[in-house]
Amino acid sequence: MSASRPSSAALTPLRHVVAAQQFDRERLSELFRLSAEMERVRSGGGGQLLPGRIMATLFYEPSTRTRLSFEAAMLRLGGQVIGTENARDFSSAIKGETLEDTVRIVAGYSDCIVLRHSEEGAAARAAEVSPVPVINAGDGPGQHPTQALLDLYTIQSEIGHLDDLHIVMVGDLSHGRTVHSLAYLLALYRGLRVTLVAPDRIRMSQGVIEHLLKHGADVRETEDLMGAVTDADIVYQTRIQVERFSEPWEEAEDQRRHFRITEEVMTRLPQSAIVMHPLPRVGEIDAAVDADPRAAYFRQARNGVSVRMALLQTLLGR
């Protein structure tokens, strides 16, 4: 009713989901409202919101978790799925077909395409030629927008608000695509404090820090995990991805141990705070922490289905 707060109908229709930057506060708010609605659809045993619709998963590199999450989302909406687990090794790609041709063909079989690719910019190229919506499920060092969206939704859903947050980001902040995208999204909100806890070799890139500062966030870097968490709302832990280093890094294991979330770290963390992790983890969070109600990482993974349902419904529903 009020002119100052446009209704969801006023949003430009979303055609593709290529990058987290497509989402402003308003669109995020609408998406999260719908995601919460989708949780109710899920607990009611799924719905018939997209009957007869087909989602194609085109994965040029494996990512079982992401694929299964998207497939579950489409099926919960009453839709169907076709796809391939490893498009790169298969048939037309090895014969030299371009990504654009493959996308145009698969678009003739389906109502939307979920694309995972190793090359940055692949999703944008696909969206350029596709007559059906394309969702980026990760394009190499580029974007993985649905991960960023589910992370932000988890914060909203667990903490209850997105302004005035203190987030502590721990681990490999240099290669971690998820922390970069999340930082960009969080920068849309007021009163943000970000504490970056990383070994010197894998610190947050200067570009992200400058973006945060430009948007008014309070940014601090430290190696003191214990001190950082005492007034945190969120501790976002990431895996130290040894496979990403061009040269061997002998201290990787030591560093992982040093920046691990242990029961001791948990004693310092406020009761209302949460621990997040994009998973898989390989030791960065002690298994003993799992039973703590503040351990939100499995709920975070579960939220991926609701957020992806909301995106699919937005792209394909009428």
- Catalytic (active-site) positions: 65-66, 95, 116, 144
Q: How far apart are CA 316 and CA 114, in angstroms?
A: 13
Assigned token pair, 310: 């909301």
Q: Count of residues binding a copy of itself (CB under 8 A)? A: 55
Cβ neighbours of residue 108 closer than 8 Å, sequence gap 6 or more:
none
Task: By CB under 8 A, name the one of 15, 24, 90, 218 that touches a copy of itself.
Answer: 90
| DSSP structure string for 62-110 | --HHHHHHHHHHHHHTT-EEEEES-GGGSHHHHTT--HHHHHHHHHTT-
Out of 85, 253, 254, 263, the residue judged to bind a copy of itself by CB under 8 A: 85
Of 86, 60, 52, 56, whose CA–CA distance to 71 is shortest?
Answer: 56
Instruction: Look up residue 209 and give its two tokens.
Output: 């820090």
How many CB atoms are located within 10 Å of the residue 274 CB? 24
How near is the Cβ of 292 to a copy of itself at its closest, in Å? 14
Residue 161: is it exposed, middle or buried by C-beta count within 10 angstroms (0-12/13-18/19+)? exposed
Cβ-based nearer residue to a copy of itself, 105 or 213: 105
Within residues 239-268, the interface with a copy of itself by CB under 8 A covers: 239, 243
* Sole binder of a copy of itself in the list 8, 21, 33, 82 (CB under 8 A): 82
Give the one residue of 17, 83, 179, 233 binding a copy of itself; rule: CB under 8 A.
Answer: 83
Where does this chain touch a copy of itself (CB under 8 A) — which range of 51-59, 180-188, 199-207, 259-267? Answer: 51-59
Q: What would the x/- binding string for a copy of itself be over residues 267 to 306, using CB under 8 A?
A: ------------xxxx---------------xx-xx-xx-
The DSSP bridge partners found for residue 219 are 194
Q: Which residues bind a copy of itself (CB under 8 A)?
A: 45-47, 51-54, 56, 62-65, 67-69, 71-72, 75-76, 78, 80-87, 89-92, 95-97, 101-102, 104-106, 108-110, 239, 243, 279-282, 298-299, 301-302, 304-305
